[in-house]
Structure 1
């Protein structure tokens, strides 16, 4: 098999393409022939070493959290999947940048026939993150208003659509080139963060989904109504500031959940959710794919095609 390996933390030049023995599934695992893997910001943060204090990993490791492909073999205790099944999943914190992987089947969902492997690989982490942020942590309800930062990115794109499906009034922040795109996803308002201070345009929202952190998060407290919720995927909100504003701040790590992913996959299959692929790279081009993600302004998802 071929896999991207990281032997030392650092820049993207720390990533190399290696030939390895095919993994063998344990009794409770499945072996997947990977067709595509998605690129997520967590990937390059891990490769750089920025996350090593929180996510210690033995070196070398293979990056990647999202994969889609075909089951080749199953462990003797696995009854939910069989060879030939097409699947997708948020497989864990590393491992997806390879053309063979072993995975806990509880992390997987069957790939909807309507989705290509490229689209399926782009679905799990972003869509699970958006759903859990909005519904499990943000407690979003019909008729509420939500401000979504970085609305054109992978998680943001899914969140805009899911919030709209929930009956919320959706406001997104994005670059001017992504205005029409974010509107097409269901946002009622799109704020150009280059030209406008969102804190002067938005007020009394029920929920803020912070996918940026830093000063964007700090300025988001003021737009919430009393009792509102700020949910961040990137950094822990300041509890003191939240208490002072009489709002709640939450930070969470996405949970891999096969059944939840299957339900979200059904929304994709029905056409209620759609995936936008920003760009596709081959496995040997993984460093270029991560550089694309690191550069920001990605519309939707960057994907590695194992057959390219």
Structure 2
């Protein structure tokens, strides 16, 4: 089978292996024929060695986490799925799968769910990591309620795009930071207020917010504490919570490490099929151009998601 793989860490090291080994089925797992794979920043970060030597024992390593596909085989003790089921979720090596940017993958049933009925394969493949991150933060960490105000940094990215839509679905007032060329896109997502981070200082414009969802990190994260009211909450996708700033501003600061799971994927599918969220796909690449897809994700300000078509 074909698979996008690396045999070492570095920039631009992804190669297509036309003779990759088929994944082996084991108890509690399924083999999936992959139709499409979603590209996330973690994918190119892994290829460049950001996870250190944690995955190097798996060389050659098949790249990719998110996918949509059809169940080909089910392992022992698997009762939730049968051959022919349309599923989506995570098949990443870091989660115990065999890698998603390949014609076939093996993954655990705890990392997948039935594909949203109304979603195309491209849309479903773009959902898992970004969608689960947004669901977990908005529903479980922030516990956002109708009428509350939330600032979402990086609103045009994959996670930000999902978070804006979910927050609006819950009836919140949503502000976001982005570049000028993303304004119309963010309005279409439902953002109430869009701040150009290059020409405007968001912490001088926004006050007394209930929550901040940070997907940018660095100085943006630190400045965001000024936006919150006392007792507010800030959740960041990057780095550990800053306890000094948390105590200074009397707010709650939390970190987010997303672990894709069946329950969150089911909730995500419900939101999609109910029309609460849409998937915005920036660009689709064929499997043979997987390296270009990861590079495009890394080097550009992507609007929504990048997807690789497999089968």
TM-score after normalising by structure 1 = 0.95
CA contact (8 A) 2:136 2:264 kept: no
The aligned counterpart of 2:50 is: 50
SS in 2 for 1:266: helix
Which deviates further from its counterpart, 159-168 or 106-115?
Answer: 106-115
* Structure 2 gaps, min length 5: none
Q: Take 2:83 and 2:188, find their aligned partners in 1: how far apart are those partners? A: 38
Matched, 1:228 2:247: no
Matched, 1:161 2:165: yes
Matched, 1:62 2:62: yes
Matched, 1:41 2:41: yes
1:47 offset after TM fit, Å?
1.0
Matched, 1:176 2:175: no
Matched, 1:132 2:127: no
CA contact (8 A) 1:175 1:297 kept: no
- What is the CA deviation profile of residues 18-39 of structure 1, one whole-angstrom value per residue up to 9, with x for unaligned ones? 1212112112110000000000
SS in 2 for 1:134: helix
CA contact (8 A) 1:126 1:154 kept: yes
1:270 offset after TM fit, Å?
2.2
Q: Take 2:303 and 2:174, find their aligned partners in 1: how far apart are those partners? A: 18
Q: What is the aligned length?
A: 305
The aligned counterpart of 2:260 is: 256
Matched, 1:292 2:296: yes
Q: Take 2:90 and 2:20, find their aligned partners in 1: how far apart are those partners? A: 22
SS in 2 for 1:226: strand
CA contact (8 A) 1:67 1:91 kept: yes
Measured on the aligned residues, the alpha-carbon RMSD in Å equals: 1.4
TM-score after normalising by structure 2 = 0.94
CA contact (8 A) 2:91 2:105 kept: no
Which residue among 257, 272, 283 is the counterpart of 2:276? 272
- What is the CA deviation profile of residues 152-185 of structure 1, one whole-angstrom value per residue up to 9, with x for unaligned ones? 1110000000001111110011111111111111
CA contact (8 A) 1:153 1:299 kept: yes
Which residue among 101, 108, 114 is the counterpart of 1:110? 114
CA contact (8 A) 1:217 1:237 kept: no
Which deviates further from its counterpart, 89-98 or 120-129?
Answer: 89-98
1:226 offset after TM fit, Å?
0.8
1:296 offset after TM fit, Å?
3.5
The aligned counterpart of 1:217 is: 221
CA contact (8 A) 2:35 2:69 kept: yes
1:239-254 equivalences in 2 (<5 Å):
239-254=243-258
- What is the CA deviation profile of residues 117-155 of structure 1, one whole-angstrom value per residue up to 9, with x for unaligned ones? 010000111110001111211221222110000101110
Matched, 1:201 2:200: no
- What is the CA deviation profile of residues 47-69 of structure 1, one whole-angstrom value per residue up to 9, with x for unaligned ones? 1112226x544233112110110
The aligned counterpart of 2:9 is: 9
CA contact (8 A) 1:91 1:256 kept: no
* Structure 1 gaps, min length 5: none
